[in-house]
Structure 1
Amino acid sequence: MSSITKRIPENASETLVALFSVLDQDSEDNGRMIFSIQDNLPFILKLTFKNFFTIVSEKALDRENQAEYNITITVTDLGTPRLKTKYNITVLNNSPTLHICSVSATDRDSGNNAQVTYSLLPPQDPHLPVASLVSINTDNGHLFALRSLDHEALQAFEFHVGATDRGSPALSSEALVHVLVLDTNDNSPFVLYPLQNGSAPCTELVPQAAEPGYLVTKVVAVDGDSGQNAWLSFQLLKATEPGLFSVWEDNGEVRTARLLSEHDAAKHRLLVLVKDNGEPPRSATATLHVLLVNGFFQPYLPLPEAVPAQSQADSLIVYLMVVLASVSLLFLFSVLLFVVVWLCRRSRAASVGHCSVP
């Protein structure tokens, strides 16, 4: 017999309470098992696959009406006598519930010979600190996890439980308990790109001639959970100009939604929501900066902070052009003067004529 207790939210509809399986290594009827729970409880025992069973709530529960239910799952084989040799237990990641299950053994003797005590047997793997994970009540076989179990650190482990009577000589048997730690949504998505560490924002450039569907960038994020808890979806929460950009839900690609025009702002800020598929879901946000440019060289519209620097550059260019023109004119005048003087001297040497130099 195995008893499992879980905490589930109030007013939830059909909710998974436990997932478990039991394996009997015997054959034929000796290996066939019967599963049952108590009657008159708002829970259903379902066969999912072969010897895998789930317990789900049949309807929404009211905490004010009843705050706690104790569900006992009885598993027996069809052999003679009916034996129980292995327990497969499923616990939720970081579950606050300390009670994992109960191991139960019966003895057909009477008196002290029928009194059974329970103990944890030394693990076969010396590197697995079972004693730091679980403990057992020697009188009733209850197993009280010593701490919450983290799926990211330990997905599964197993150990042996011994049952010994108080007869003389004492007789004993053992059972194998296999614990599977299910993942819960305890990690939020983490944005890898663009970086959200408070440093200088990365600006994406978009040419003015971009067609609708132009790939601007891609938001990249990961989730430390597994399974559906790690499935991520993306959504555009805010934008400087709604309708200009869109975000693909499945892969985080940011694309233009229409043609750009000269009336669009030059600078845009986008806020993207990254959400996982857990229950309840966890989320993170990513901020993107987009700049519209004419090609990939000149901004489509000049930014206000760039105007003073541009004015200074224009003044310097004008000054250099004036200086260069002045030097060129002075050089040309010097050359002309030299030619005129040389011609006059040549004429004076050839004749006594008069040469007037203006």
Structure 2
Amino acid sequence: MSDRTMTRQVLLFISVLSLSSVHGQVSYSIPEEMAKGSLVGNIAQDLGLDIKRLKSGKARIYTGDSAEYIELNKERGVLLIKDRIDREALCGQTTPCAVHLQITLEDPIEFYSVTVEIHDINDNAPSFKKNEMKFRISESAMVGAKFVLERAMDLDVGVNGLQSYLLKPTDNFLLKLQNQPDGSKKVEMVLQKPLDREKQEHLFLTLTAIDGGDPPLSGTMQIEITVLDANDNAPVFTQEMYKATITENAAKGTVLSTVSASDADDGSNGRVSYSITNTLDDVPEIFEINEDSGIVVLSGHIDYEKARHYEIHVQASDDGGLSDSSKIIIDVIDVNDNSPIIIIMSKSSSIAEDSVSNTVIAMISVNDPDSDSNGQVHCGINENIPFTIKSTSNGFYSLVTDSDLDRERASEYNISVTCSDEGVPSLSSSVTLTLQISDVNDNAPVFERSSYEAYIIENNTPGLSIFTVKARDADWNQNARVSYILDDSSVNGVPVSSYVSVSAESGVIHAVRSFDYEQIKDFQFWVKAQDGGSPPLSSNVTVKIMIQDQNDNAPQVLYPVQTSSSLVAEMVPRSADVGYLVTKVVAVDVDSGQNAWLSYKLQKATDRALFEVGLQNGEIRTIRQVTDKDTVKQRLTVVVEDNGQPSRSATVNVNVAVADSFPEVLSEFTDFTHDKDYNDNLTFYLVLALAVVSFLFITCLVVIISVKIYRWRQSRVLYHSNLPVIPYYPPRYADTLGTGTLQHVYNYEVCRTTDSKKSDCKFVRPCSQNVLIMDPSSTGTMQRMQSEQNILDEPDSPLEVCYI
């Protein structure tokens, strides 16, 4: 509407209002697309006006921009269609759509409003902006993947507008609509079935948009889907096995066979290359294959007498890494003739080892295209297997068992069926059937040894792995799964489980405790091996554990006995010759073996040139003639070492008196009692101990006297009170001479010397014929002790000497 027209309408409206003229309003409803000249309404009748008034009043109609659609016929007093009304062009998607008119009259001025509502008709079909959409979707796309489609447009409104969509075909995709906030719908295509480029590389779908008119109108859009390739197909040989024959005199380059594999993929994913994969034989040196064409040719020399058959393993691979395998059976013949053809009609891949005889495992059909005797075929199988082949009818054979099977003896049989004709030379063919023998639990576990012996060093850490028992079961799978169980037994009255444990899975035997060779040197027990069959089978084995000694004990010197009060000295006369036996150091080691092998060494001596110690026997002998210049007092320090690693040792001091008479020895050894080697601290400790014992004795004596006095007073009180008195003695105590409550009578022997520091008590048993007992408390008399039996003869005799 122009500014001028708008101005005129506004002025006219103001002038009408100012005149306060009477006016009215009328409304009409018409459909769009009415023909030109069609009646809208009788305005004169509806407003109550006379046709003459319309003429005299110079009736005019103001429609603004709508003037081109409606006109007033004053002759008839009606409103007519002036031009075709297109609701979509007039109002678009706005509803309701109406045309507003104003009718004015003059003399007097009158003003009337007329509203013409334009109703929509289904004159527009839904349409798409594009006629075609294209998608490129990989065949590896996941189910549920969504693809947004273009929405259709419909200029109509209401029920005549766009109502629904339809997608065809729906083999791989479904249509999904989602309402949007603006009232529109989002159109999506959802993958419901995986795509397969190899089956269909291009898909053509039709998306149809339908409105709600009667009849409904629709618009379509074509959807083209190109399925992109994914390497989801491996090459596939046209045959699982190829066969070829060649004469032994064939030249190099002779074509044997052509293998072929196809890959349904596209591009590099479908490009196939061929290779020979034999590794354990000489096939790669005799045959070669063209990696592009798959042609297998002879590249080496073949000899019928050396090999009648070759099996070539061929692999076809695409550029995506997927592959397939096949094999080529090459039969070498002497002449260009036909070999019998063997066809496996049916076969069993496995059979239980407890199957009865005459169980059929395969049916074979054999024929030879040759004629006469060359076509007469006889079939047989390889020897030394529990099977036989029987002819059931002309050209048909059955392969059956003819003896008991044992999977443990043979778990798999390659049964080679060879069929030969009667030609000269005879031609034959063969086929190999692989038969698996399934297991039955008919074998108990068997230990690798009938008994076990293991060694462990003493002082081990608890939990140490000693060794492993191993049992094998000839069965298979669960029937051969062996578990190890420690048999319930005891060692020296103690359960064996407190000594060792065994791992149920591995059979490893662990030490539960630390062993001491000196307490237990060996023990044995039983281990049971049980399989996992049903019912389970088991076997036992004896295990003996030997404790090995460790050098954990130092040597102990038995003789000479080391004391610190009285002095023991071995006397050597000055007339002693070379090799004179002075004494013998006797020591023992509670260890065993080389840990108890003792050696004796002279560590230090007053005169090292005078004495030596036997390395093995500990004998102390003179190594030279004794002279007058040798001092009387000789002190030797002998080290006793065992042979352990590391070795342990003990030290013993030996006093030797070099003299011909006892007075000489006595005068010299008197000073020994004041030797600085004695420890003065020992005297202090003895005095302190004596003082403590004396204090305790006096305290006990005072307590006992006090108790006696108290009881005496109580008895006196009871006596004067004329009450009966019952004496009471504590249990286990008796009054000895009325002086105390000691349980036992103790006898004490006190030995005193002129030197109070060296007082001691001693209990001596004679040890050697040449031992001198030097007692400082004596008046100078030296006594030679004669033993009833030499200690060297009885090393186990007790030797008790107490010195300070």
- Work out the CA distance in 1 between the residues paired with 2:662 and 2:603: 27
Conserved 8 A contact 1:205-1:296:
no
Measured against aligned partners, the alpha-carbon deviations of 1:154-181 in whole angstroms (never above 9, x if no partner) come to 2221111112233322222222212222
Conserved 8 A contact 1:223-1:230:
yes
* Correspondence for 1:232: 598
Measured against aligned partners, the alpha-carbon deviations of 1:315-337 in whole angstroms (never above 9, x if no partner) come to xxxxxxxxxxxxxxxxxxxxxxx
Measured against aligned partners, the alpha-carbon deviations of 1:87-117 in whole angstroms (never above 9, x if no partner) come to 2212223344810112223334455444332
**2:584 is the counterpart of 1:218:** yes
Which amino acid is 1:299 matched to? Answer: V
Q: Which has the higher contact order (CA 8 A, sep 6+)?
A: 1
1:296 positional shift: 3.7
- Work out the CA distance in 2 between the residues paired with 1:185 and 1:305: 41
Match of 1:144, SS state, is: strand
* Correspondence for 2:496: 130
Over 3 Å counting, the alpha-carbon distance change for 1:300 and 1:262 in structure 2 is farther
Over 3 Å counting, the alpha-carbon distance change for 1:203 and 1:131 in structure 2 is same
Conserved 8 A contact 2:447-2:469:
no
1:190 positional shift: 0.8
- Work out the CA distance in 2 between the residues paired with 1:84 and 1:283: 42
Q: 1:263 aligns with which of 629, 636, 659?
A: 629
Match of 2:466, SS state, is: coil
Conserved 8 A contact 1:293-1:301:
no
**2:491 is the counterpart of 1:144:** no
Conserved 8 A contact 1:185-1:280:
yes
* Correspondence for 2:554: 188
Which amino acid is 2:457 matched to? Answer: L
- Work out the CA distance in 2 between the residues paired with 1:242 and 1:84: 59
Measured against aligned partners, the alpha-carbon deviations of 1:29-81 in whole angstroms (never above 9, x if no partner) come to xxxxxxxxxxxxxxxxxxxxxxxxxxxxxxxxxxxxxxxxxxxxxxxxxxxx9
* Correspondence for 1:93: 458
Which amino acid is 1:91 matched to? Answer: I
Conserved 8 A contact 1:236-1:271:
yes
Aligned counterparts, 1:109-120, within 5 A? 109-120=475-486
Measured against aligned partners, the alpha-carbon deviations of 1:167-213 in whole angstroms (never above 9, x if no partner) come to 32222222221222222322221100111365544222222332222
Q: Which of 181-190 and 90-99 deviates more?
A: 90-99
- Work out the CA distance in 2 between the residues paired with 1:125 and 1:237: 45
Q: Which of 222-231 and 204-213 deviates more?
A: 204-213
Which amino acid is 2:450 matched to? Answer: T
- Work out the CA distance in 2 between the residues paired with 1:286 and 1:82: 54
Match of 1:294, SS state, is: coil
* Correspondence for 2:653: 287
1:138 positional shift: 1.8
Find runs of 4+ consecutive structure 1 residues off by over 6 angstroms. none
Which amino acid is 1:276 matched to? Answer: D
- Work out the CA distance in 1 between the residues paired with 2:450 and 2:625: 69
Over 3 Å counting, the alpha-carbon distance change for 1:213 and 1:108 in structure 2 is closer
* Correspondence for 2:607: 241
Match of 2:500, SS state, is: coil
Conserved 8 A contact 2:598-2:641:
yes
Identity between Structure 1 and Structure 2 (%): 44
Unaligned runs of 5+ in 2: 1-445, 673-753, 755-804
Q: Which of 105-114 and 216-225 deviates more?
A: 105-114
- Work out the CA distance in 2 between the residues paired with 1:92 and 1:109: 37
Over 3 Å counting, the alpha-carbon distance change for 1:124 and 1:150 in structure 2 is closer
Q: Which has the higher strand share?
A: 2
Which amino acid is 1:187 matched to? Answer: N
- Work out the CA distance in 2 between the residues paired with 1:162 and 1:279: 38
1:125 positional shift: 6.3
- Work out the CA distance in 2 between the residues paired with 1:177 and 1:256: 54
Aligned counterparts, 1:150-161, within 5 A? 150-161=516-527
1:303 positional shift: 5.4
Which amino acid is 2:645 matched to? Answer: E
Over 3 Å counting, the alpha-carbon distance change for 1:215 and 1:126 in structure 2 is closer
Conserved 8 A contact 1:203-1:290:
yes
Over 3 Å counting, the alpha-carbon distance change for 1:208 and 1:110 in structure 2 is closer
Q: 1:167 aligns with which of 529, 533, 537?
A: 533
- Work out the CA distance in 2 between the residues paired with 1:135 and 1:89: 14
Conserved 8 A contact 2:447-2:472:
no
Over 3 Å counting, the alpha-carbon distance change for 1:199 and 1:128 in structure 2 is farther
Conserved 8 A contact 1:156-1:180:
yes
Which amino acid is 2:525 matched to? Answer: F
Match of 2:594, SS state, is: helix
1:274 positional shift: 1.0
Aligned counterparts, 1:51-90, within 5 A? 83-90=448-455
**2:664 is the counterpart of 1:298:** yes
- Work out the CA distance in 1 between the residues paired with 2:507 and 2:553: 34
Conserved 8 A contact 2:484-2:504:
yes
TM-score (norm 2): 0.26
Over 3 Å counting, the alpha-carbon distance change for 1:245 and 1:109 in structure 2 is closer
1:264 positional shift: 2.1
Over 3 Å counting, the alpha-carbon distance change for 1:261 and 1:231 in structure 2 is same
Q: Which of 192-201 and 208-217 deviates more?
A: 192-201
- Work out the CA distance in 2 between the residues paired with 1:154 and 1:300: 51
TM-score (norm 1): 0.56
- Work out the CA distance in 2 between the residues paired with 1:100 and 1:82: 17
**2:106 is the counterpart of 1:106:** no
* Correspondence for 1:208: 574
- Work out the CA distance in 1 between the residues paired with 2:667 and 2:623: 20
Over 3 Å counting, the alpha-carbon distance change for 1:291 and 1:220 in structure 2 is same
Conserved 8 A contact 2:490-2:496:
no
Q: Give me the CA root mean square deviation.
A: 2.8
1:304 positional shift: 6.9
Conserved 8 A contact 2:448-2:470:
no
**2:618 is the counterpart of 1:252:** yes
Unaligned runs of 5+ in 1: 1-80, 310-358
Conserved 8 A contact 1:232-1:277:
yes
Match of 1:204, SS state, is: strand
Which amino acid is 2:527 matched to? Answer: V
- Work out the CA distance in 2 between the residues paired with 1:109 and 1:238: 72
Aligned residues: 227
Over 3 Å counting, the alpha-carbon distance change for 1:305 and 1:94 in structure 2 is closer
1:234 positional shift: 1.1
- Work out the CA distance in 2 between the residues paired with 1:247 and 1:193: 14
Which amino acid is 1:161 matched to? Answer: V
- Work out the CA distance in 1 between the residues paired with 2:564 and 2:468: 51
- Work out the CA distance in 2 between the residues paired with 1:95 and 1:289: 42
Match of 1:167, SS state, is: coil
Over 3 Å counting, the alpha-carbon distance change for 1:303 and 1:101 in structure 2 is closer
**2:276 is the counterpart of 1:276:** no
Over 3 Å counting, the alpha-carbon distance change for 1:111 and 1:227 in structure 2 is closer
- Work out the CA distance in 1 between the residues paired with 2:467 and 2:448: 18
Aligned counterparts, 1:5-20, within 5 A? none
1:305 positional shift: 3.7
Measured against aligned partners, the alpha-carbon deviations of 1:254-313 in whole angstroms (never above 9, x if no partner) come to 12222333332221110011112223322211111112223344339745749xx9xxxx
Conserved 8 A contact 1:266-1:301:
no
